[in-house]
């Protein structure tokens, strides 16, 4: 990918960076060679999205929000403003998806940190105590 710098290369994921923006590409969402969500779980969650006139495959909103929660807890260990916006925009059905994917523990930690950010008890990014 032109202009991107390789930041992380692992068996199931690579991370690229360009202009301060990170892009994670997964075979399976993972951190430190540990898979936290199987890609097969995501395959049935795809929809067509429009990105500036380009049609792209993207996750359905509840799946996107559930993946954001799992990523925030298991990979980043913090809730960012992007995570907050993703969850608030697409929260309907998210906890059901977390239950299906067996990541409700992550959702609990995420929602506690999200509450701290939204109530002003902590700034974002907010570390997620586990």
Domain ranges in the chain are 60-127
Query: Which sign, positive or negative, has the C-alpha torsion 26, 30, 33, 34?
Result: negative
Under DSSP, the state recorded for 48 is E
Over range 31-58, report the average pLDDT: 87
pLDDT at residue 48 tops 90: yes
Give residue 130's pLDDT: 60
Residue 13: CB atoms within 10 Å:
19
Q: How far apart are CA 83 and CA 73, in angstroms?
A: 10
pLDDT at residue 127 tops 80: no
pLDDT at residue 124 tops 80: no
pTM as predicted = 0.77
Give residue 114's pLDDT: 85
Over range 64-83, report the average pLDDT: 88
Q: How far apart are CA 73 and CA 65, in angstroms?
A: 12
């Amino acid at each position: 990918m032109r202009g991107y710098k390789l930041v992380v290369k692992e068996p199931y994921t690579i991370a690229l960076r360009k202009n301060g923006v990170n892009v994670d590409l997964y075979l399976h969402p993972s951190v430190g060679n540990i898979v936290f969500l199987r890609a097969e779980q995501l395959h049935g969650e795809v929809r067509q999205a429009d990105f500036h006139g380009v049609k792209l495959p993207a996750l359905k909103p509840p799946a996107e929000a559930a993946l954001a929660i799992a990523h925030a807890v298991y990979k980043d260990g913090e809730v960012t403003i992007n995570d907050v916006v993703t969850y608030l925009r697409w929260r309907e059905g998210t906890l059901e998806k977390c239950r299906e994917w067996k990541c409700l523990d992550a959702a609990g930690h995420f929602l506690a940190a999200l509450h701290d950010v939204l109530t002003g008890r902590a700034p974002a990014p907010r570390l997620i105590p586990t």
